[in-house]
Structure 1
Amino acid sequence: MPPADAAPNTEPGSIPPEIAAWFDARGWRVRRHQQEMLAAADRGAHALLVADTGAGKTLSGFLPTLAAFCPSRLAGAKVLEGLHTLYVSPLKALATDVQRNLIAPIEEIGLPIRVETRSGDTPSDRKARQRARPPHVLLTTPESLSLLLSYPEAPALFAGLRHVVIDEVHAFATGKRGDLLALSLARLQAIAPATRRAALSATLADPDEYRGWLAPWGEIDAVDLVHGEPGAEPEVEILLPREERIPWSGHAATWAIPQLIEQIRAHRTTLVFTNTRFLAEYIFQELWDANEGNLPIGIHHGSLSREARRKVEAAMADGKLRALVCTASLDLGIDWGDIDLVVQMGAPKGSSRLLQRIGRANHRLDQPSEAVLVPGNRFEFLEAFAAQQAVREGQRDGDPFRPGGLDVLAQHVMAVACAGPFREEDLLAEVRSSLAYAWVDETVFARVLAFVATGGYALRSYDKFRRIVREKDGTWRLAHPEHAARHRLNAGIIVDAEMLEVRFRNGRSLGKVEEGFGASLEPGDTFRFAGMDLEVEALKDLELIVRAARRSATIPSYMGQRMPISTHLADRVRTMLSDRAGWARFPEDVREWLEVQDWRSHLPAPGRLLVESFPHRELAYTSYYTFEGWNANQSLGMLVTRRMEDRGLGPLGFVATDYTLIVWGLKPVEDPAALLSPDILTHEFVDWVQQSYLLRRAFREVAVISGLVERQHPGKRKSGRQVTFSTDLIYDVLRKYEPDHLLIEAAWADARARMTDVGRVADVLDRAAREIDHVRLDRISPLAVPALSMIGRENLPAGAADDDLLLEAESLASVAMRVDPVEDEEQDEDEERKEG
């Protein structure tokens, strides 16, 4: 690859004197990793920078651009007009924040660089002007970049492109937005072969995987891996009750509110992270109720209006807030206000996510970030402790890469067609140059083209699905020019999650649940909601039609959707449980909990599956300690209860947490291995997904992303109900007449990977096949208390039922932790026999 912007006779990586003087004037020094990023650009190499928060990553990415416009590098040459650098971020707000911080060095150095942003919020007249007279630097998102590539002037617009900077690459590279960006990068490389790519992140578990994603396929060695200078180690503490014990169950951690008010009062600005929007609202209200000093406290999450979010963001930037309760909406590198403390309410779920959040405090490399973890229960304490250790050891986790989605590929094919005619073999070679789609062969690509051209065999007689046609010379083009406008109006990857209204057939509404939960149900399933046992009659047009159940609910409580614990943290927790010597580091009540569990039963061990059976309230209970996350345990509960039904065990219900699945019924489970045989994923799993609404929900998403179903018409946007109605009709047609349709295949891939977490379910089955520790008990075990106490709980809003939950947990714990005199003597005799 030829050098990008290095001036003749310039040593690669040499800092132009204009930039060096700017650093000196601020009392800064050029970091080693910043110079290495400039050197990679001067050599024409791609680069991946992994550096701590506060290390100047964004400036590192833009340094080659700034250098290219310095007079010392231009050496008298005229400043070229046209697009020079693209900056791609996962958030519109992040691009706006970067623009603000990038303008300062450009203006202070006096560089002739024009910088603009482009997103869904950009006015249409400015978008048109950007295509005709683009800025030197354009800050955008994956979706807006894809739309830019769909215009006929795209080849001219991007012909002089030299740099693409991808910020916070870990946040989207492994998902469908990453698929779309990978295809756009391949397109840009074909238009401007000299373009070099740079990606930035603070939290990558396996940088080589990201080098493979960033590089053109097969050219991983063309990507330099640059490690940032190490910064100050973060200071991460776990907040514990001063006088009370750590709760047995619950997630809201309301016990900590008085101590949190003290922390907020003692710091300049505190960021309080929660894992769900419900919990954010609940904690915000609890803090306000305890806020006797009327400290200015705000809230920020994705369900708030754009105006409300911008008002809070402006207040943060101006230093007017003492605390802000938020969700993942502020996870990424937005530098607002003078934040000196980060609080994580509840379990962190992953070391990388925690590190990203911690980095929002003291956004400087040489100062330690201060963070406090607030566990809501004892399992969350173990998870917080594991995350604290992982951060100290520099261990990261993250989502694995998977093959690119066919629905995204179909959208990209349509975007290319909107830009102009293309030849099939040329576009296939371009698509295969990205790691995400290197697996696509001629047969698969022909199916994608046939889908975009006709909608598929069962839909080809409808003109609305005929979007591209093939000419006699083999080139493909749009079937009608109006398809370009329709594509640009509807293209995108993010499909908003819907809430399902729960109501009786007579119209009486009981409230709303997340669609992800409702989609896992099928007619006849029962669950507990609004204090009632309900039976599902149907799911229709975003309504879950129910009636009063004639039996107790199989799913005893509506728990809502949540992010699961990462595999890395789950493995750490299992290892901690088996390390009895390490328990000395735990609070006394946690240590006692584990010691009684060890004495009464077993503890989960790495590579093994602990299963406990015990009677409780005249029913037979079985606990599976999987540590595979709520989504996988929920799926496993659905499958295991069906298998129990087939075997006459009379299952009555189950409850799932991140750590445990508890199932109960009329008869005890004598052989848990038989219930967990691997063929459950080839028989019961397929039946469950097809009979529930999971596949139908997955189909709606891929139908929207692929362009088969449009969300918007000129001047009008379809409601979620209208989109669902349209996709349901098409789904029924395809299931009946074309079950092997491309989008049915794509929907199955989504159902397996995202909606059921079937990969983690398979991990449970693998462990069960190797070794099960099946322990039969005469009562509930201490480890089962947190999950069992959640039966009957409705988490709307999150935390609202924590008081009742704690009372139930304490009642169960008194049984689990009680040591009877006879048991005590038998235990002593056992110990004597072991010693003898």
Structure 2
Amino acid sequence: MNREQLFSIANNWFESQGWKPFPFQTQTWTAFLQGKNGLLNAPTGSGKTYALWLPIILNYIKENPNYKTKHNSGLKAIWITPLRSLSVEIKQAAERVLTDLDIPMTVGIRSGDTSSAERAKQKNKMPDLLITTPESLQLLLATKGYANTFKNCSSIVIDEWHELLGTKRGVQIELALSRLKTIAKNIRIWGISATIGNLQQAQEVLLGVDSEAYHNSVLIKAVIHKKIKVISIIPEKMDTYPWRGHMGLHLIDEVAKIIKASKTTLIFTNVRSACEIWYQRLLEHYPEFAGEMAMHHGSIDRETRLWVENAIRNEELKVVVCTSSLDLGVDFAPVESIIQVGGPKGVARFMQRAGRSGHQPGKESVIYFLATHAIELIEASALKKAVENTIIEDRIPYLNSWDVLVQYLNTLAVSDGFYPNEIFKEIQGTFSYQTITAENWNWILNFITQGSQSLHAYDEFKKVEIDENGCYKINNRMTATHHRMQIGTIVGDAVMNVKYMSGGYIGTIEEWFISKLKPGDTFIFAGKKLELFKIRNMQVLVKKASPKKESKIASWMGGRLALSSQMSELLRQELYRANTDNLSPELKALQPLFQRQRKESIVPSSDEFLIETFKTREGFHAIFYPFEGRFVHEALASLLAFRISLLQSITFSLAYNDYGFELLSDQEIDIEAVLDNNLFSTEYVHHDLQKSLNSTEMARRKFRDIAVISGLVFTGFPGKLVKTKHLQSGSQLLFEVFRDFEPDNLLLHQAYRETFEHQLEEGRLILALERIANQKIIWKQCLKPTPFSFPIITDRLREKLSSETLAERIQKMTASYMK
């Protein structure tokens, strides 16, 4: 069949659905059928799934003209999704086309949720089209004879590539693709990505630097102007002294109005504990929502999450309070309104959430922004500008993740073994390992066979053996079992299953939260009041608690998000605009706060950097305002505290938020003297950071994840997981051995590199210091705290006081500062 005939099949099918293909869909079909690889940039809800399922099916028809009478079974295409929850929809989309066109191809799913019976069936006979996750793809590479499974595969699609890029799961995909290119000679590689700032680089990471696949590829952009309407919920009375404590709950009545006026509403919170709190408070204030409201976050059990997703799809629910667990994919058209509680800290995340409303081509998306404290309205104003001008973050790819490479080599050694020269060439072709040297490679081969120089006395680290042909293999069954159970790169804090004593499963909670409770204590989780009965085998056994009992709300370590660099740049521009007449509605609403700020201090302009000092009962406060996000501020606060302590003998306690940071001491800082001593110099930043932060302690924590991913420590069997503290002590011991006896250990270096690059964002920190060096430093000696400093001070108090006492204390403080 020629292309015209194939296209008429696709067009007729689209017509039968009452649709018309978009230009980006037909462009993708054409490029795919020409044998090209590519990256498709298309927003959620625009029909991107059919842009690639259709040409995969058309290609099968083209190569098998007698497909109706003679079907050649075997794996033909793989669709990778980062979220298991999307698999069912992707499968349904493919089946819809196959059924309508009467094509005898089979579609299967393979993920952590796939039953062992289904897996066994797939082992004997693979489906034609397979939907899987990055981890399950690695598990397939860990099976004997995997080359036969993949050799006739004609295409692989990586969905939501923007989510995988810049993560170790993305690196896993790069490595798997490097292998598939060799064993499936005619494979076409396609990625689907929402808009990111560095699309060209995203294409290069996916296909491999300067590779044949990259040179035979296209970047297709869907030109669909998605209308996004951003509406800020502005309180009638503006706090002059804002604080982060009330989570925006004082606007609960405004939220209820939106819920009542919409068919369906999603309320997005940034963290799971906020999700739990909003759900509880809405039920308390509006009991009529009971039965029409649900909650959705990653720690709630899968059955409940699926029920919620289906209930939204069938319009059985009026409102769902959720976290980023509903950011992606889950395909339901009827959602009318989206409410974002608190700054989403990134433009891409905000637009992704906005796209859940009007989730169909051509429909307008409506998103309400609810600031959890007054200054977040500046963020709302900045987001509006970003949405209008489509300013979106870059996703920075990982380089030289040696732990992922070690895991991958063990995966190949568990299945059919590998020959180092062949695999080295493949790995060099990936973006992540393009700078790998022969010396690095030999170190890694030595590490998997001898356990590196400091561990070679211990047989358990000698996992891989070399046979007489020079093939690297894992022959020990126990080693192979341990490895297969630990494939993956997501290392969270140890989670424990929460179950009723009578047997019902509720979800998972982190060990650190439960460790603070004793039997008889009550806590709120998954919208239920639960009483802790006891902990047994990493299981938290609970019973229903009396409604009258005081309860803690479950919280998770994966706490706060930090501002992206694009977001902080937009935020600064918006703040500087407060000194002009060109004010957005949000900036107009903040006028009382700005007036009070100017009375006590200043609102800085673009060429100014503000430092405020004042004295309270707690001591001497020095507050700095880089507006760079909390991660950068955490590092910057430590750096400046260290530099000041070199000039005068002084100790500080530190506090920070997204807007600035505080150095609090019992003695005054001589600001002029420290400024004259190059306080903001970019020289010796790395050295000073290492001295100021306990960078060894941070690297030690980072090393725990590296040790798990590289298989140095075993996390345990299902139901008998190793406790976090044991994992921590095991990995700490290894960290100390490497630090003391093997300082050139690549995994040790990686722990320090990731600490500085990813956790402390050292690059961003240096750029911030360079910017400050070009600004005029304004030092304001204030008589009392200012509106800008107030959220930072109160954040520090939060660590010491319960929320009720904190609210009372803040009321008193506000009253005294307003005098």
TM-score range, shorter chain: 0.7 to 0.9
Counterpart of 1:328?
324
Letter in 1 for 2:108: E
Displacement of 1:652 after TM fit?
Answer: 3.6
Contact 1:61 1:200 in 2 (8 A): no
The correspondence for 1:565, drawn from 547, 563, 566, is 563
Displacement of 1:561 after TM fit?
Answer: 3.1
Shift of the 382–649 alpha-carbon distance from structure 1 to 2, 3 Å rule, reads: farther
Contact 2:414 2:475 in 1 (8 A): no
> Which moves more between the two structures, 194-203 or 638-647?
638-647
Displacement of 1:746 after TM fit?
Answer: 1.7
Counterpart of 1:667?
668
SS in 1 for 2:767: helix
Say whether residues 1:45 and 2:43 are aligned partners: no
Contact 1:50 1:201 in 2 (8 A): yes
Distance, in Å, in 2 between the alignment partners of 1:431 and 1:504 is 43
Contact 2:45 2:361 in 1 (8 A): yes
* Deviations 1:401-442 (CA, angstroms, capped at 9, x unpaired): 231411001111111112223222211110111111111121
The correspondence for 1:774, drawn from 758, 772, 778, is 778
Counterpart of 1:287?
282
Displacement of 1:795 after TM fit?
Answer: 9.3
Contact 1:280 1:299 in 2 (8 A): yes
Distance, in Å, in 2 between the alignment partners of 1:459 and 1:378 is 55
Q: What does 1:30-69 correspond to in 2, within 5 Å?
A: 30-69=21-60
Q: What does 1:341-380 correspond to in 2, within 5 Å?
A: 341-380=337-376
Counterpart of 1:229?
223
Counterpart of 1:121?
113
Counterpart of 2:269?
274
The correspondence for 1:452, drawn from 448, 458, 461, is 448
Contact 1:231 1:367 in 2 (8 A): no
The correspondence for 2:573, drawn from 572, 575, 578, is 575
Q: What does 1:47-196 correspond to in 2, within 5 Å?
A: 47-70=38-61, 74-76=64-66, 78-196=70-188
* Deviations 1:741-795 (CA, angstroms, capped at 9, x unpaired): 2221121122123333333322333334444513132333432233223331139
Counterpart of 1:615?
615
Displacement of 1:266 after TM fit?
Answer: 1.1
Counterpart of 1:749?
753
> Which moves more between the two structures, 224-233 or 254-263?
224-233
Contact 2:178 2:427 in 1 (8 A): yes
Gaps of 5+ in 1: 1-6, 513-540, 542-557, 816-836
Contact 2:145 2:416 in 1 (8 A): no
SS in 1 for 2:795: coil
Contact 1:278 1:796 in 2 (8 A): no
Displacement of 1:222 after TM fit?
Answer: 2.6
Distance, in Å, in 2 between the alignment partners of 1:45 and 1:389 is 37
Counterpart of 2:534?
none
Distance, in Å, in 2 between the alignment partners of 1:385 and 1:660 is 19
The correspondence for 1:465, drawn from 458, 461, 466, is 461
Say whether residues 1:476 and 2:476 are aligned partners: no
Displacement of 1:113 after TM fit?
Answer: 1.7
Distance, in Å, in 2 between the alignment partners of 1:510 and 1:633 is 36
Contact 1:655 1:661 in 2 (8 A): yes
Distance, in Å, in 2 between the alignment partners of 1:796 and 1:234 is 40
Q: What does 1:677-826 correspond to in 2, within 5 Å?
A: 677-679=681-683, 681-688=685-692, 690=694, 693-713=697-717, 716-779=720-783, 780-794=785-799, 803-804=807-808, 807=811, 810-811=814-815, 814=818
Counterpart of 1:826?
none
- Aligned pair count reads 759
> Which moves more between the two structures, 263-272 or 641-650?
641-650
> Which moves more between the two structures, 72-81 or 189-198?
72-81
SS in 2 for 1:186: helix
Gaps of 5+ in 2: 495-509, 524-537, 539-555
Letter in 2 for 1:632: V
Shift of the 412–106 alpha-carbon distance from structure 1 to 2, 3 Å rule, reads: same
Contact 1:163 1:195 in 2 (8 A): yes
Shift of the 29–508 alpha-carbon distance from structure 1 to 2, 3 Å rule, reads: closer
TM-score, normalisation: structure 2: 0.87
SS in 2 for 1:612: strand
RMSD of aligned alpha carbons:
3.0
Letter in 2 for 1:145: L
Letter in 2 for 1:788: I
> Which moves more between the two structures, 448-457 or 271-280?
448-457
Letter in 2 for 1:202: A
* Deviations 1:308-352 (CA, angstroms, capped at 9, x unpaired): 323323333332211111111111111136211111001121111
Letter in 1 for 2:743: P
Contact 1:50 1:228 in 2 (8 A): yes
Counterpart of 1:593?
593
Distance, in Å, in 1 between the alignment partners of 2:244 and 2:806 is 6
> Which moves more between the two structures, 266-275 or 764-773?
764-773
* Deviations 1:547-570 (CA, angstroms, capped at 9, x unpaired): xxxxxxxxxxx9983111111111
Shift of the 404–108 alpha-carbon distance from structure 1 to 2, 3 Å rule, reads: farther
Counterpart of 1:314?
310
Contact 2:239 2:374 in 1 (8 A): no
Distance, in Å, in 2 between the alignment partners of 1:407 and 1:606 is 43
Distance, in Å, in 2 between the alignment partners of 1:57 and 1:503 is 42
Q: What does 1:10-21 correspond to in 2, within 5 Å?
A: 10=3, 15-21=6-12
TM-score, normalisation: structure 1: 0.85
Distance, in Å, in 1 between the alignment partners of 2:424 and 2:817 is 61
User: Kindly, what percent of the aligned residue pairs are identical?
Assistant: 26
Displacement of 1:244 after TM fit?
Answer: 5.2
Contact 1:633 1:660 in 2 (8 A): yes
Counterpart of 2:549?
none
Contact 2:238 2:593 in 1 (8 A): no
Distance, in Å, in 1 between the alignment partners of 2:480 and 2:66 is 43
Displacement of 1:293 after TM fit?
Answer: 2.5
Contact 1:41 1:64 in 2 (8 A): yes
* Deviations 1:675-709 (CA, angstroms, capped at 9, x unpaired): 44335633342245556632221111000001111
Contact 1:641 1:653 in 2 (8 A): no
Displacement of 1:206 after TM fit?
Answer: 1.9
SS in 1 for 2:750: helix
Distance, in Å, in 1 between the alignment partners of 2:370 and 2:54 is 39
Q: What does 1:383-398 correspond to in 2, within 5 Å?
A: 383-398=379-394
Counterpart of 1:530?
none
SS in 2 for 1:678: coil
Distance, in Å, in 2 between the alignment partners of 1:56 and 1:379 is 38
Distance, in Å, in 1 between the alignment partners of 2:608 and 2:413 is 52
Displacement of 1:362 after TM fit?
Answer: 1.9
Contact 1:317 1:337 in 2 (8 A): yes
> Which moves more between the two structures, 353-362 or 710-719?
710-719
Shift of the 69–232 alpha-carbon distance from structure 1 to 2, 3 Å rule, reads: same
Shift of the 740–608 alpha-carbon distance from structure 1 to 2, 3 Å rule, reads: farther
Distance, in Å, in 2 between the alignment partners of 1:265 and 1:782 is 34
Q: What does 1:531-546 correspond to in 2, within 5 Å?
A: none
> Which moves more between the two structures, 562-571 or 689-698?
689-698
Distance, in Å, in 2 between the alignment partners of 1:811 and 1:617 is 16
Displacement of 1:221 after TM fit?
Answer: 3.9
Shift of the 248–618 alpha-carbon distance from structure 1 to 2, 3 Å rule, reads: closer
Letter in 1 for 2:47: G
Distance, in Å, in 1 between the alignment partners of 2:557 and 2:106 is 50
Distance, in Å, in 2 between the alignment partners of 1:58 and 1:19 is 14
Shift of the 428–610 alpha-carbon distance from structure 1 to 2, 3 Å rule, reads: farther
Distance, in Å, in 2 between the alignment partners of 1:31 and 1:502 is 49
The correspondence for 2:235, drawn from 218, 232, 241, is 241
